[in-house]
Amino acid sequence: MNKEIILIKNGELALKGLNRSTFEEVMIKNIKRKLKPFGNFSVKRAQSTITIEPMDDNFDMSIALEQMQYIFGIAAFSKALVCEKDINDILSRGPSYLADALSGVKTFKVEAKRSDKSFPLTSPEISKLMGGELLKKYKHLSVDVHNPECVVTVEIRDFAAYVRAGQIRGAGGLPVGTAGKAAILISGGIDSPVAAYMMAKRGVALSAIHFASPPYTSPRAEQKVRELLEKVSAYSGPIRLGVVPFTEIQEQIAKNCPEEFFTLIMRRMMMRISCILAENSGCLALITGESLGQVASQTLPALAVTDEVCTMPVLRPAIGMDKEEIIKISKKIDAFDISIQPYEDCCTVFTPKHPKTRPTVLQCIEAEKALDIDALISRAVENTEFSYVE
């Protein structure tokens, strides 16, 4: 019976120099967590490649390959046949193993990589011999070294030889957990799940904060947020979600503050609360889905006003993107159809008819003077409910 493994190629990790092993260790940990439900396996690291080897027949190789696409840090991956480091074994078993990959193509080429220089044949010699065997076995094939439909690779490594056809593109980025932790302010819209995904791709571990305003927002709106986080957690791993009761704050703003400042003061309160919750969770930054100029609260003056109350950096990965670019990523992570469900979040409650678009910090401070800010924040933080989404 043929023994198969999964070969994983690193992307940016190759540029990390002396820190590379630390990044690879985190990625291996993420791989083990992701594949744990699908059977027994081992993960090994050698010569710039990570290998996943099934330990028994219960390991589901097809599902494991699907899961590889959700692990940040992986540039490319493929399944491969394990052969002895003997050209006769490679040539006798390799062509049959490649039957499925070659059945639907007309052209191919062979690339050989010989990291074990003690192997008696050179890379061109290995390529020539394997190419000859494939042409004998598959009469419909012809060689195209410039634009082949399929690239067959033979790798000679320290402990074995591997035969594979093609590679699947990985998620790229950096392993989640290598760039610290941040809190995503998650609404039910399109932008914030995309922002969460983008920062997870840069290695940031995530927690999440959602503001709920019952009875103005429904339980279904909160469930929508959980469903969106499930899509993100497929890439990031489990996410701790804090649901903040925001009704009292919004009602107090509507009752005591000038209407044109409603949204700005609401967002300042959100940022104050989020900084406290984020710090309590060990986060180093906040993440939002804001895109410059998309709405009145996302102009440069408005963003400056909201940032003024923050005690930690605010990361806005979508800030320079237009809606079409954001929607493209939303669809890629399978979040778009959830995001457009008609369940409103608290940002749509008490929306002013004519919002202030060029506010100043001093104007906002004056507009929110009627609020007992510390007491409102304290009650909201104290009554925040936490759970995990995965």
DSSP label at 24? H
pLDDT at 382: 98
Q: Answer whether 186's CB lies under 8 Å from 274's CB.
A: no
Looking up residue 97, the CATH number of its domain turns out to be 3.30.2130.30
Residues 96 and 15 grouped into a single domain? yes
pLDDT at 158: 85
pLDDT at 159: 84
Q: How do beta strands 239-245 and 385-389 pair? A: antiparallel
Of 110, 134, 169, the position where a domain reaches its end is 169
Could you tell me the end-to-end alpha-carbon distance of the chain, in angstroms, rounded to an integer? 36
Estimate the share of the chain in helix, then strand, then coil, as percent rounded to the nearest 5: 45, 20, 35
pLDDT at 354: 74
pLDDT at 173: 94
pLDDT at 344: 67
Residues 153 and 297 grouped into a single domain? no
Residues 130 and 14 grouped into a single domain? yes
pLDDT at 345: 66
Range of the domain at 112: 4-169
- In three-state form (DSSP H/G/I as H, E/B as E, the rest C), the secondary structure along 311-362 is CCCEECCCCCCCHHHHHHHHHHCCCHHHHCCCCCCHHHCCCCCCCCCCCCHH
Task: Name the pTM for this structure.
Answer: 0.91
Residues 146 and 193 grouped into a single domain? no
Work out how many domains the chain is built from and give that number: 2
- Evaluate whether residue 174 is within a structural domain: no
pLDDT tens for the chain, 390 residues long, are 679 999 998 877 766 667 888 889 999 999 999 999 999 999 988 767 899 999 988 899 999 999 999 999 999 999 999 999 999 999 999 999 999 999 989 999 999 999 889 999 999 999 999 999 999 999 999 999 999 999 999 999 888 999 999 899 999 999 999 999 999 999 889 999 999 999 999 999 999 999 999 988 888 999 999 999 999 999 999 999 999 999 999 999 999 999 999 999 999 999 999 999 999 999 999 999 999 877 777 889 889 999 999 999 999 999 999 999 999 999 999 999 999 987 766 666 667 777 777 889 999 999 999 999 999 999 999 999 999 999
Residues 19 and 113 grouped into a single domain? yes
pLDDT at 308: 96
